Each structure stands twice: as C-alpha cells, then as structure tokens.
Amino acid sequence: MHLQRRLRAAGTWRLAIAVAALDLAIVAGFGFHLAGAAAIGSALSANGGVDPVALLGKDLGETTCPTAPLAVGKGTTVICPDWTGVTTRGGTVEVVSLYGPGNAVIDEFRGPLPEGLTWGQSLTEIMADLGTPIRITDAYGTPTLVYAYENEVYGSLELRFSGGNRLMRINACLLR
C-alpha cells in the first residue's frame, strides 16, 4: 500500500514536469512568434512578397514561421505574422487563413485578397459582388459565407464577418 502511494506520487510528479515542459515550449514558441524570431527554413515570413493563398496544394517544406501540431488530426498549423495555414502530415498546404484589422493575435493581411475582396466590406456588398454562396452559417457566432470555385487555386472560400457584418477573416481551402 505504501509502495503504491509512492509510485502514484512519482507518476504524478513526472506528469506535472511533462505538462510544465510542454506549456513552456508552447509559450516559448508563441513568444518567438510575437517577437518575430524565425526557425531555419525557406523565406515565408509574413507574406514576403508571396501570396499565401498561392501556396495551397504545394509542399510548404520548412518555413521561417513557427509551426505546431494540430490539436485534432495529423497535420501542422503554420503561424506567420499576418496569415496562418494548415498543412497535411506531408507538408501540403490545405487551408490558408487571412485576417483583417483588429485581430488580437495575427496582424492584418495587407496583400491582395482573393476575388477582389477588401477588409470591412459588408455582407450585402460581398453577396452583390460574388453572388449567392453555396452555404451561409453562423457556426462561429457571426455570419459565414462559403463560396466554391472550379478554376482557382482555392476550391472554396469561407468568409467570416464581425458582429457588425463586416469582412474580418478569409479561409481559402483546397476543398471544393
């Protein structure tokens, strides 16, 4: 009985150390991201003159932007200063997310937006320009329009709006 308590205490102690080390690694990685530090790899920091949406379907390889394993699935999250991405286990970019002004973590993407969109456009303006989406949801608490494309590098665009119905985020996806 006494030995069982000691082993349980030792196991709890090891688990606490592992969790603390993991937390420290996550905080350090996020700190490097905010400080602008870079990992060894190709020059994909910020958008570096590259349209991140053009990376869809390509092998990202190594990047100067911090990466982290997905919480669900077997891919990786890429966190650049003004865009994020999701890659497969093999490094193929599946989703690129661009953020408008006012995001607490990611800077505003200042490059050209897909389909000639502009940050802050209203939901009604976008529907007038792009037509009726294939789906309209409010799964994230604010309106989200989903458009499908055949002849673009992106198979679909998910447009998320603020509470004031202004464009605030674009997810460009391979999925059609």
**pLDDT at 63 (0 to 100):** 78
**pLDDT at 176 (0 to 100):** 65
**pLDDT at 139 (0 to 100):** 75
**pLDDT at 118 (0 to 100):** 97
Single-letter residue type at 133? P
Residue 81 has which token pair?
Answer: 């200063």
HSE-CB at 8 with a 13 A cutoff on CA atoms is 5
Task: Please identify every stretch of the chain with a pLDDT value under 70, giving residue numbers as ranges.
Answer: 1-49, 176
**What sign results for the dihedral spanned by CA atoms 87, 88, 91, 95?**
negative
Q: Compute and round to an integer the Cα radius of gyration of the chain.
A: 20
**What sign results for the dihedral spanned by CA atoms 164, 148, 170, 73?**
positive
Q: In what order do the strands lie in the sheet with 67-69?
A: 67-69, 76-79, 83-87, 93-99, 167-173, 156-161, 144-148, 135-137
In contact, 134 and 147? CB cutoff 8 Å: yes
d(CA 81, CA 11): 39
Closest of 139, 140, 175, 143 to residue 157, by C-alpha: 175
**pLDDT at 42 (0 to 100):** 39
